[in-house]
């Protein structure tokens, strides 16, 4: 993920007790075995945000993804979702896993998921196969954002 986009997503992570979770879509393209993240969406007004959950409800996310699809001559697509957690090193909740499975089932393809914590991050790939859907943790990163941006780019989606 390019650093400016990564910083935009990270700006929603906060340790303060007042803050609520944030999230959005990950948009990008497949380049051979790699993915290139080209854009993300940020929370819109109709999303439901609380301290411990983020529900992407605003139709503006899908509208933006459709816009990027058209503007890029059908190369940039909806790759997955990101959201923040009020944890140092985040892990997916059972609600996260459930909603991701739903998303993979609806889209019938692999999708990427990133959770941003205050000190570490979680990145995973949900895999759609003919026999069913399984979510698999592709990498667990705790470290600075430069490290993660490199790691995310080197995910080989064909080998997972
Ligand atoms: Zn979550």
CA of 22 to the centre of ligand 1 (A): 10
Give the pLDDT of residue 142.
34
CB 142 within 8 A of CB 91: no
Residue 18: its pLDDT value, please? 57
**What pLDDT score was predicted for residue 17?**
54
pLDDT at 146: 44
CA of 91 to the centre of ligand 1 (A): 7
CA–centroid distance, residue 36 to ligand 1 (Å): 23
Residue 134's pLDDT is 47
Predicted pLDDT at 42: 93
What average pLDDT is seen over the chain?
77
pTM for this entry: 0.79
Residues of the chain with pLDDT under 50: 131-160
Q: What is the largest CA-CA distance in the chain?
A: 43
Write down the pLDDT at residue 71: 96
Give the Å distance between the CA of 71 and the centre of ligand 1: 30
Q: Give the three-state DSSP class for 80.
A: strand
pLDDT by residue (tens digit) across 9-30? 888 886 555 578 999 999 998 8
Residues designated as active site: 21
Helix then strand then coil, in percent of the chain rounded to 5, is 25, 35, 40
Q: Say which CATH topology domain 3-153 has.
A: Cytidine Deaminase; domain 2 (3.40.140)
């Amino acid at each position: 993920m390019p650093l400016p986009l990564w910083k935009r997503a990270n700006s929603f992570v906060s340790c303060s007790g007042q803050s609520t979770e944030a999230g959005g879509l990950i948009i990008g393209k497949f380049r051979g075995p790699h993915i290139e993240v080209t854009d993300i969406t940020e929370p819109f007004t109709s999303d439901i945000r609380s301290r411990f959950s983020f529900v992407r409800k605003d139709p503006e996310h899908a509208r933006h993804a459709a816009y990027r699809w058209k503007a890029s001559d059908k190369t940039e697509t909806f790759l997955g979702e990101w959201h923040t957690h009020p944890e140092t090193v985040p892990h997916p909740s059972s609600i996260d896993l459930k909603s991701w499975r739903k998303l993979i089932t609806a889209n019938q393809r692999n999708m990427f998921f990133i959770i941003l914590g205050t000190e570490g991050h979680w990145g995973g790939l949900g895999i759609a196969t003919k026999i069913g859907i399984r979510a698999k943790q592709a990498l667990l990163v705790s470290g600075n954002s430069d490290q993660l941006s490199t790691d995310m780019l080197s995910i080989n989606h064909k080998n997972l």
